[in-house]
Amino acid sequence: MSVPKPPASAEDETDEALMLAYAAGDASAFDRLYQRHKGALYRYVLRHCANACIADELFQDVWMNVIRVRGRYMPAARFGSWLFTLAHNRIVDHWRVSGQATMVTLDDDDDAAMPTALVSPSHEQPDVLAAASETSARLRTALAALPPLQRDAFLLHQESGLSLAEIGQLTGVGAETVKSRVRYAIARLRAAFPELGEHV
């Protein structure tokens, strides 16, 4: 006699299964999916923008896109990879619209090309700084000072849970390039936080 299989708990359900369930009409599946990924995705967007209002708008756009294209979702890749691809593309669009498109194509490994345009305007910073702790504010400033592609690679590696190879696929470069960008970003962030000591 076969033992009946216990129903999978909410934690056991994969992201892909939840997304398919949502595409089939199960709204509660979206709720669980959203709870799992909203924090990481929001931090990814927020740390790219340094402007909470714009981050809210971009974050909302990404999820609206998920809702809109739910019927075309194919679990060929991990849901997280798909979700962060949508977010990455939305941020690149935002760069283009806001006149920062050229920064995407800069050789971000070149110190001379260090962009500063993504750093929030000074009139925005007091609000941000007041709301966040000193470390958070320093971190945000340091991230904003990174070249976009380095920042993108670093944030994707940090927040999305994707591998370097997956990030490479997502951004259209090789895994070694991603690794190089992440290392450059770490070096610059460490420079902003000397109290962390020497990185071995």
Partner 1 sequence: MTPDREPLDPALGAMLRENSAETPPAHVDAAIMRAAHRAVVSAPRAHSRRPWRLWLPLAAAATVTAVVIGLQSVERQAPEGAPAANVPLKASTEQSATRSDESNAAADAPPPQSPAAATSAPPAAESARQSDAARVTKAQVSQDPRVKEAIERIRAFRRDGRETEAVAALAQLRATVSDADVRLPPDLRAWASTVPR
Residues in the chain: 200
Kindly compute the dihedral angle of the four CA atoms of residues 182, 183, 188, 191, in this order, to the nearest 10 degrees: 140
Candidate residues 16, 18, 48, 59; the one interacting with partner 1 per rule CB under 8 A: 59
- Report the distance separating Cα 26 and Cα 19, nearest Å: 9
Candidate residues 158, 169, 173, 177; the one interacting with partner 1 per rule CB under 8 A: 158
Candidate residues 4, 25, 126, 172; the one interacting with partner 1 per rule CB under 8 A: 25
Amino acid at 150: Q
For 25, residues 6+ apart whose C-beta sits below 8 A from its C-beta are none
Least CB distance to partner 1 at residue 4 (A)? 25
Contacts to partner 1 from residues 181-200, by CB under 8 A: 182-183, 186, 189-190, 193, 196-197, 199
Binding mask 78-117 for partner 1 (x = CB under 8 A): ----------------------------------------
Task: State the DSSP string of 88-157.
Answer: HHHHHHHHHHTT-HHHHTS-TT-GGG---TTSPPTTTHHHHHHHS-HHHHHHHHHHHTS-HHHHHHHHII
Which residues would be at the binding site for partner 1 (CB under 8 A)? 22-27, 30-31, 34, 38-39, 42-43, 46, 56, 59-60, 63-64, 67-68, 70-71, 133, 135-136, 139, 157-158, 161, 163-165, 175, 179, 182-183, 186, 189-190, 193, 196-197, 199
